[in-house]
């Protein structure tokens, strides 16, 4: 009987492996289902009905042909599988609800991030934009080319990410809106929960700070800190006015305006080690000595640092794969340390307080 049992165990193991293989292959459907939910406004539809809605109620709030309601039900199945939405179970003893076969779909902590103030719709829409997704269909071709050029994005689209944001106004809006939504969400947590990072400084320049969402949050929370944003001329030209934040046109590879502190939010992972060292050396020139309180404040991923649960680790690894599209890299502590030493800084402190991202203070 032993061989039969062994064969049976082998078959079970193979079938489990096959299910896992299919699961990985179908992961893209989860992403596309989320994109559809964003495009259709499904979270808003459920929120409109008090946070719980039937399929018929959702269908009345989204642009949908009546014949596609069964297809929407299948989409919602995927979205509940992903944890974007949940299905509400009838309360025990609620005979009327139990008799009603229509499921009630509810918001989850994940989908609540897609509604209301500080929502992450624009950020997720940016990451799920076809221009972001397309390069990964050609990753195997790109891997056969020598670094550094073309980057994966340019290999696919014929121009770099930065060239496209400069020349395509619609795409530039998608990117700016995405980064602004991330800044609004993350900066609210940073200034509210970890405001000590900005205490004791009199001025701060947000390098490559886009439309100034991060700098505005700092200025609002700490009015004693003079905040400015330095970015490329075409970005500064479209920046909002009358916000209390100064906008300066410039290139971080040339020089950075003098300030008590320099802020780099999600910038360094876009660039090679050599480029990062150039940026950091310019930061060091812009700030006073450590004794005078000078420092560089970096918000970025430190791979392997932060909450130990699997979901945070997974996001760090997946972000490292994503950022290859601009020849970028997410770094572990030793890789960060190497940059700081080469740029001439004396020490640093990592604070893993921002989920899968960290705050790093770097001192001259």
DSSP H helices in 26-68: 27-40, 42-48, 55-61
3-class DSSP assignment, residue 269: helix
Closest alpha carbon to 203 in 229, 225, 222, 219: 225
Distance CA 132, CA 31 (A): 12
Q: In whole angstroms, what is the distance from residue 167 CA to residue 338 CA?
A: 35
Task: Give the separation between CA 68 and CA 70, rounded to whole angstroms.
Answer: 5
- Active site annotation includes 269: yes
- DSSP output for 78-122: HHHHTTSEEEEPPPTT-HHHHH--SPEEEE-TTGGGGSSTT--HH
Q: What region does 147 belong to: left with phi over 0, alpha with psi -120 to 50, or beta?
A: beta
Helical axes 69-81 vs 27-40, angle rounded to 10°: 120
Catalytic, out of 47, 157, 260, 269: 269
Distances (CA, A) of 131 to 127, 168, 169: 9, 12, 14
Active site residues: 269
């Amino acid at each position: 009987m032993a061989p039969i049992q062994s064969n049976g165990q082998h078959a079970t193991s193979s079938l489990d492996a096959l299910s896992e293989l299919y699961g990985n292959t179908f992961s893209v459907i989860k992403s596309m289902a989320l994109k559809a939910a964003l495009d259709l406004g499904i979270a808003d539809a459920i929120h409109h009905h008090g946070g719980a809605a039937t399929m018929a109620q959702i269908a009345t709030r989204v642009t949908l042909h009546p014949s596609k309601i069964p297809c929407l039900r299948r989409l919602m199945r995927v979205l509940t599988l992903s944890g974007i939405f949940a299905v509400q179970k009838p309360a025990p003893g609620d005979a009327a609800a139990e008799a009603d076969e229509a499921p009630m779909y509810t918001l989850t902590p994940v989908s609540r991030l897609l509604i209301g103030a500080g929502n992450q719709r624009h950020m997720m829409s940016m990451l799920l934009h076809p221009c972001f997704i397309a390069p990964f269909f050609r990753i195997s071709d790109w891997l056969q080319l020598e670094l550094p050029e073309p980057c994966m994005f340019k290999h696919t689209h014929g121009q770099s990410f930065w060239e496209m944001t400069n020349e395509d106004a619609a795409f530039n809006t998608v990117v700016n809106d995405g980064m602004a939504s991330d800044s609004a969400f993350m900066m609210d947590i940073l200034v509210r929960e970890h405001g000590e990072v900005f205490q004791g400084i009199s001025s701060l320049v947000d390098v490559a700070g886009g439309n100034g969402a991060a700098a505005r949050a700092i200025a609002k929370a700490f009015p004693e800190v003079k905040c400015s944003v330095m970015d490329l001329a075409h970005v500064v030209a479209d920046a909002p006015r009358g916000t209390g934040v100064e906008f300066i046109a410039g290139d971080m590879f040339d020089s950075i305006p003098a300030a008590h502190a320099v802020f780099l939010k999600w910038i360094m992972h876009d660039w090679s080690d050599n480029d990062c060292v150039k940026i950091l050396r310019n930061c060091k020139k812009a700030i006073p000595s450590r004794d005078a309180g000078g420092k560089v404040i970096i918000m970025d991923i430190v791979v392997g640092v932060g909450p130990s649960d699997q979901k945070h680790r997974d996001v760090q690894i997946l972000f490292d794969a994503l950022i290859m599209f601009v020849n970028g890299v997410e770094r572990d502590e030793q890789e960060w340390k190497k940059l700081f030493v080469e740029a001439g800084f004396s020490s640093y402190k990592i604070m893993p307080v921002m989920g899968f991202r960290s705050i790093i203070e770097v001192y001259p």
